[in-house]
C-alpha cells in the first residue's frame, strides 16, 4: 500500500511539471488511514483538495489499478482535519496475512447480507468451511463495488486462519507474473508457486478476454489444482458466457462448479451497510442522514464508503456536525464533481478517435451507417457521462427535440442487450472518456 506514494511519482510523468509542482508535490499519502482499495491523500487546503479530487483523482485511481490490479476509491482530504476515518483493520485474524495480500477486514462478520447477496454469502461460507467439496470452482460475478472481492477474501481469510496456504491474485497479477517468468525463463518456479497452494483466489477474471497465451497457462494451472483437490474461487464482473474471447474449454471449466451472482443491494441492505461502516469507523450518522445517503448514492458500495469517509473528514474540517443539510451539500458537490468533469466535446473527441470518424461528421446530419453509429454512441455516452439533459443534448447535435435523443437511447440499450461485442466496445470507450478527463 506504500503504492499510494509511488503512484504520485508515476503521475509526475503524465502531467506537466507546472501542474505537478502546483498541486501534486504537496499532496501527502495518508498511509495510516488508507487501505488497499481506498487511497486517502492529504492536500494543504480545501480549495486544492477539491481541485485535485476533480482533476486528478480518477487518474490516480487508474494508475493505481494498472499497478496493482485493484480498483480503488481515491479521496483527497485536507491535511489538518483530525479525522478518525481509519479503516477498521485486524479483527480475529491470527496469522499475518500481509504476505498474501488479503485485506484482513474483509471477513464474513463484516459483510452485511440481504436478498441481493445472500446466496453468494452462503455459498462462500460453505466453501470456507468445507473447501474442495461441493462447489469447486466457486465463480462469483456481479457489478463493480458490490462485494465480490470482499467475499472472496473472506473465504481466503477463513482458510488462512485454518492454516491453509492461500494465494490471492487479481487476474492481472497472475498475468504479469506469468509474463515476467516467461521473460526470465523461470516457468518452473511460476508453476511451483501456484501448484503449492491449498486454495487459489483469482479476482476480476474478466480481463482474461482475448489473452490467449495466458488463458492457456491458466487452464493448466486450473486443471492441475482441481485434480489435486484444491479449491479455486474466481470473481468476474459478468458470467463466463459473457466474457468475450474466453476459450470454450475454460468457459466450461468455470461452469463445472457453482456460479453465483451478487446483485445491486436493495435499499434496506444499503442502509444496513452504511450503518455498519459508520459504526466500524466510529462515525456518528443520524437515521435521516443514513436514509438520505442510501437513497441518493448509487449501488457501488466502495463509493458509498468513500462518501462516508469524506463526509466525516469535512465535518471535522469545518467543525460542523453531520446533519441532513450538511450531508446534502457535501454529497451534491461530490456527485457534481464526478460528472461535471466530462463534456460532450470530450466524448466526441474520444468516439472520433476510437471509431475513426471525424468530429464534424459525428455532429453532422450525414446518414452513412458508420457515422450514424458513432453519433448514437456519442449521444448515449453524453447522456450517461455528462450532466446534460436530453433537450440540451438535442440542441448540441442539432436535433429537433429531446424525443430524438430518447429514441437513440432506447435503440442503443436494445443493442446492448443483445450484442456482447457492442457492449464491450461501449465499455471501452466509456472507460477512455472517464480516464481521458483526468489527464
Ligand atoms: P467488488 O469486488 O465487487 O468490486 P468489493 O468487494 O471490493 O467490490 O467491495 C467494495 C467495498 O464495499 C469494500 O470495502 C467492501 O468491504 C464493501 N462491501 C461490499 N459489499 C458489502 C456488504 N454486503 N457488507 C459490507 N461491506 C460491503
Ligand atoms: Mg473487486
pLDDT tens readout for residues 185-228: 999 999 999 999 999 999 999 988 878 899 999 999 999 999 99
Q: How far is CA 419 from CA 169, 247, 250, 415, 428, in A?
A: 30, 18, 21, 6, 14
**Atom number of ligand 1 nearest to Cα 301:** 12
**Residues 203, 138 contacting (CB under 8 angstroms):** no
| C-alpha to C-alpha distance for 169 and 221, rounded to whole angstroms | 13
Residue 193: alpha-carbon gap to chain centroid: 27
pLDDT tens readout for residues 342-362: 889 989 999 999 899 999 999
| C-alpha to C-alpha distance for 7 and 4, rounded to whole angstroms | 5
Q: Tell me, yes or no, if the pTM score tops 0.85.
A: no
| C-alpha to C-alpha distance for 262 and 145, rounded to whole angstroms | 10
Q: How far is the CA of 260 from the centre of ligand 1 (A)?
A: 16
Does residue 278 surpass a pLDDT of 70? yes
- β-pairing, 199-203 with 258-262? unpaired
| C-alpha to C-alpha distance for 272 and 116, rounded to whole angstroms | 13
Does residue 107 surpass a pLDDT of 90? yes
Does residue 439 surpass a pLDDT of 70? no
Residue nearest to atom 1 of ligand 1 (CA): 145
**Ligand number with the minimum distance to the CA of 73:** 1
Range with the poorest average pLDDT among 106-120, 325-339, 371-385: 325-339
Q: What is the pLDDT of residue 100?
A: 54
Secondary structure letter of residue 258 according to DSSP: E
Q: List CB contacts of 2: < 8 A, sequence separation 6 or more.
A: 29, 31
**Atom number of ligand 1 nearest to Cα 152:** 6
Which position has the higher pLDDT, 211 or 160?
160
**Atom number of ligand 1 nearest to Cα 142:** 3
Q: What is the pLDDT of residue 338?
A: 55
| C-alpha to C-alpha distance for 365 and 363, rounded to whole angstroms | 7
Q: What is the pLDDT of residue 93?
A: 37
Q: In testing the pocket of ligand 1, which one of 301, 305, 308 has its CB within 8 Å of the most ligand atoms?
A: 301
Q: What is the pLDDT of residue 83?
A: 47
> Which domains does the chain carry?
2-96 (3.30.300.180), 118-262 (3.40.50.300), 267-340 (1.10.8.60), 344-438 (1.10.1750.10)
**Atom number of ligand 1 nearest to Cα 276:** 25
**Residues 312, 159 contacting (CB under 8 angstroms):** no
pLDDT tens readout for residues 245-271: 899 999 999 999 999 999 999 999 999
Q: How far is the CA of 151 from the centre of ligand 2 (A)?
A: 9
**Residues 400, 394 contacting (CB under 8 angstroms):** yes
Q: How far is the CA of 91 from the centre of ligand 2 (A)?
A: 21
Q: In testing the pocket of ligand 1, which one of 145, 235, 308 has its CB within 8 Å of the most ligand atoms?
A: 145
pLDDT tens readout for residues 14-69: 888 888 988 899 899 988 878 878 899 998 887 788 888 888 998 999 888 888 77
Does residue 95 surpass a pLDDT of 90? no
Cell representation of residue 306: 468513500
Residue nearest to atom 19 of ligand 1 (CA): 147
Q: What is the pLDDT of residue 98?
A: 38
Q: In testing the pocket of ligand 1, which one of 64, 150, 304 has its CB within 8 Å of the most ligand atoms?
A: 150
Does residue 88 surpass a pLDDT of 80? no
> Rounded to 5, what percent of the chain is helix, strand, coil?
60, 10, 30
Q: How far is the CA of 349 from the centre of ligand 2 (A)?
A: 30
Secondary structure letter of residue 103 according to DSSP: -
**Atom number of ligand 1 nearest to Cα 114:** 23
User: In the structure, which protein residues have their CB atom closer than 6 angstroms to any atom of ligand 1?
Assistant: 37, 106, 110-112, 117, 144-150, 273, 301-302, 305
Following DSSP, what letter does each residue of 28-64 receive, concatenated? EE-TTT-BTTEEEEEESSHHHHHHHHHHHHHHHHHHH
Amino acid at each position: 500500500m506504500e503504492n499510494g506514494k509511488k503512484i504520485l511519482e508515476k503521475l509526475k510523468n503524465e502531467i506537466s511539471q507546472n501542474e505537478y509542482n502546483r498541486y501534486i508535490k504537496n499532496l501527502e499519502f495518508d498511509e495510516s488511514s488508507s487501505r488497499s482499495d481506498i487511497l486517502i491523500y492529504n492536500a494543504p487546503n480545501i480549495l486544492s483538495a477539491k481541485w485535485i479530487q476533480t482533476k486528478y483523482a480518477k487518474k490516480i485511481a487508474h494508475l493505481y489499478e494498472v499497478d496493482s490490479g485493484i480498483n480503488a476509491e481515491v479521496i483527497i482530504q485536507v491535511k489538518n482535519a483530525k479525522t478518525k476515518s481509519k479503516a477498521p483493520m485486524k479483527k480475529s485474524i491470527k496469522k499475518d496475512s500481509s504476505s498474501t495480500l488479503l485485506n484482513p477486514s474483509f471477513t464474513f462478520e463484516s459483510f452485511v447480507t440481504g436478498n441481493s447477496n445472500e446466496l453468494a454469502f452462503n455459498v462462500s461460507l460453505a466453501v470456507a468451511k468445507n473447501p474442495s467439496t461441493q462447489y469447486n470452482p466457486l465463480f462469483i460475478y456481479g457489478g463493480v463495488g458490490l462485494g465480490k472481492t470482499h467475499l472472496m477474501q473472506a473465504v481466503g481469510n477463513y482458510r488462512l486462519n485454518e492454516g491453509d496456504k492461500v494465494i490471492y491474485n487479481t487476474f492481472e497479477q497472475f498475468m504479469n507474473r506469468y509474463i515476467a517468468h516467461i521473460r526470465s525463463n523461470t516457468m518452473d518456479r511460476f508453476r511451483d508457486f501456484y501448484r503449492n497452494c491449498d486454495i487459489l483466489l483469482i479476482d476480476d477474471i474478466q480481463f482474461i478476454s482475448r489473452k490467449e497465451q495466458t488463458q492457456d497457462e491458466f487452464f493448466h494451472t486450473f486443471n492441475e489444482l482441481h485434480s489435486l483437490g484444491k479449491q479455486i474461487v474466481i470473481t468476474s464482473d459478468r458470467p463466463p458466457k459473457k466474457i468475450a474471447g474466453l476459450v470454450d474449454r475454460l468457459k466450461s471449466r468455470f461452469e463445472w462448479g457453482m456460479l453465483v451472482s451478487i446483485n445491486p443491494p436493495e435499499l434496506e441492505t444499503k442502509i444496513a451497510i452504511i450503518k455498519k461502516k459508520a459504526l466500524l469507523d466510529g462515525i456518528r450518522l443520524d437515521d435521516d442522514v443514513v436514509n438520505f445517503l442510501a437513497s441518493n448514492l448509487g449501488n457501488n458500495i466502495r463509493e458509498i464508503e468513500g462518501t462516508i469517509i469524506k463526509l466525516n473528514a469535512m465535518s471535522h474540517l469545518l467543525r460542523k456536525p453531520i446533519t441532513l443539510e450538511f450531508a446534502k451539500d457535501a454529497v451534491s458537490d461530490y456527485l457534481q464533481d464526478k460528472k461535471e468533469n466530462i463534456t460532450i466535446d470530450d466524448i466526441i473527441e474520444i468516439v472520433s478517435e476510437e471509431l475513426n470518424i471525424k468530429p464534424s461528421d459525428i455532429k453532422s446530419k450525414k446518414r452513412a451507417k458508420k457515422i450514424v453509429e458513432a453519433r448514437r454512441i456519442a449521444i448515449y455516452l453524453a447522456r450517461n457521462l455528462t450532466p446534460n439533459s436530453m433537450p440540451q443534448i438535442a440542441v448540441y447535435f442539432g436535433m429537433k427535440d429531446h424525443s430524438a435523443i430518447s429514441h437513440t437511447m432506447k435503440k442503443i440499450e436494445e443493442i446492448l442487450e443483445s450484442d456482447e461485442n457492442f457492449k464491450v466496445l461501449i465499455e471501452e470507450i466509456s472507460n477512455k472518456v472517464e480516464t481521458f478527463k483526468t489527464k
